[in-house]
Amino acid sequence: MPIHPDQLKQLASQVLAIEAQAVEQLQSRIDDRFVRACDLMLHCQGRIVVLGMGKSGHIGGKIAATLASTGSPAFFVHPAEASHGDMGMITAQDVVMALSNSGETDEILTLLPLIKRQGVPLIALTGNPDSTLAQTADVHIDVSVPQEACPLGLAPTSSTTATLAMGDALAVALLEARGFTAEDFARSHPGGRLGRRLLLLTDDVMHTGEQMPRNAPDDLLRDALLEMSRKGLGTTVVVDGEDHVLGVFTDGDLRRALDRQVNVHTAQVAEVMTPRGKTIAPGTLAAEALRMMQKYRINALPVVNSAGKLAGVLNMHDLLRAGVL
């Protein structure tokens, strides 16, 4: 029987409300046990090995990936596979994080004697503080929820959301404790837009040498316009005989000059340029150049070295093509 659209909306809203409540209740469980778990992982000399079966396994894979990408080396091991050889992936230098809502998952309980025999610290995230897993763990973090969002109370929904959120809380706490930076994050994500934003430098995309539009201060305005047209960057940089940057001349400066009825055939570029315009240093993140362009509403930016000399010119379109935005 077809369900009314309003009923679908109501059911969806209920699910979100139930799961939001489950996550909110976790705040009261950020206590000394949470700190102890962080301490064990911070002092881990090996890897954080995450275990979980079924839906907890999917959550465990994501938690391991988040830890690994934020400065805490980690990987996921399937508990059933661990019983058939993969237990060799866990060493005495590691820390194990086991996920189980019931705390009685057979595949994980089978591994507990082996984990204990190796002396590996065990962190458990369960929904049952009285469970075997919780009682065996060196640190237990309670991720129990009042109810599942599934109307049958069967499909893991709120419980997996709560476990994932607690995993994120652990990962971010460790990130801060390690002093993990955006550059560190980029080195873990060299591909894609994120890596480009955090690793690409001005030097990688700027125009140099003969590609740089530049004029002397006593050049005629019409010569500056020709230089802008030839180089196609929407600007020309005004430099002295030793390439020290004196100012910039842009499309905006041209419009202002025309408003003042400046004669483009006789005026010198120094009369209409913007002196001491915005510049950026070599070796700066390209994302910072983009931020400056957006903030000051400019489309080009001279790259100027510590001696005040022109090293290159950046254009907004170059940054867009490089995937910085």
Q: Are residues 96 and 169 in the same domain?
A: yes
Q: Are residues 137 and 226 in the same domain?
A: no
pLDDT tens digits, one per residue of 152-171: 776 889 999 999 999 999 99
pLDDT exceeds cutoff 80 at 180: no
State the Cα angle at 67 between 63 and 70, rounded to 5°: 140
The enclosing domain of 77 has a CATH number of 3.40.50.10490
Side-chain-side CA neighbours of 36 within 13 Å: the count stands at: 13
Q: pLDDT at position 83, please? A: 78
* Cβ contacts of 43 within 8 Å, gap of 6 or more: none
pLDDT exceeds cutoff 90 at 187: no
Q: In terms of residue numbers, what domain contains 277?
A: 202-321
Q: Are residues 218 and 304 in the same domain?
A: yes
Q: pLDDT at position 216, please? A: 95
Whole-angstrom distance, CA of residue 95 vs CA of residue 46? 7
Q: Is residue 145 part of a domain?
A: yes
Q: pLDDT at position 190, please? A: 53
Q: pLDDT at position 56, please? A: 96
Whole-angstrom distance, CA of residue 233 vs CA of residue 314? 8
Q: Is residue 105 part of a domain?
A: yes
Q: Which two tokens stand for residue 315?
A: 């254009």
User: Taking each helix axis from N to C terminus, what angle separates 5-24 and 158-178, rounded to the nearest 10 degrees?
Assistant: 40
Q: Which residues pair with 273 in a beta bridge?
A: none
Whole-angstrom distance, CA of residue 228 vs CA of residue 231? 5
pLDDT tens digits, one per residue of 97-150: 999 999 999 999 999 999 999 999 999 999 999 999 999 999 999 999 999 988
Backbone angles phi, psi at 141, to 5 degrees: -115, 120
pLDDT tens digits, one per residue of 18-31: 999 999 999 999 99
Contacts 24+ apart (CB under 8 A), 128-133: 128/101, 128/102, 128/103, 128/104, 130/103, 131/100, 131/102, 131/103, 131/104, 132/103, 132/104, 133/98, 133/100, 133/103, 133/104, 133/105, 133/108, 133/109
pLDDT tens digits, one per residue of 87-96: 888 999 999 9
The enclosing domain of 271 has a CATH number of 3.10.580.10
Q: Are residues 217 and 137 in the same domain?
A: no
Q: Are residues 119 and 232 in the same domain?
A: no
Q: Are residues 95 and 209 in the same domain?
A: no
Q: Which two tokens stand for residue 229?
A: 């047209």
Q: Is residue 194 part of a domain?
A: no
Q: Is residue 312 part of a domain?
A: yes
Q: Are residues 153 and 20 in the same domain?
A: yes
Q: Are residues 171 and 286 in the same domain?
A: no
Whole-angstrom distance, CA of residue 169 vs CA of residue 310? 46
Mean pLDDT of 77-89: 85
**One-letter amino acid of 127:** G
Instruction: Point out the least confidently predicted range of 13-22, 37-46, 85-94.
Output: 85-94
Q: Are residues 37 and 114 in the same domain?
A: yes
Q: Are residues 236 and 141 in the same domain?
A: no
pLDDT-based confidence at residue 265 (cuts at 50, 70, 90): confident
Q: Are residues 114 and 171 in the same domain?
A: yes
Q: Is residue 45 part of a domain?
A: yes
pLDDT exceeds cutoff 60 at 189: no
Q: Are residues 164 and 273 in the same domain?
A: no
Q: Is residue 191 part of a domain?
A: no
Last residue of a domain, one of 147, 180, 213: 180
Q: pLDDT at position 185, please? A: 61
The structural domain count of the chain equals: 2
**For residues 129 and 84, which has the higher predicted lDDT (pLDDT)?**
129
pLDDT exceeds cutoff 70 at 186: no
Last residue of a domain, one of 149, 180, 211: 180
Q: Is residue 207 part of a domain?
A: yes
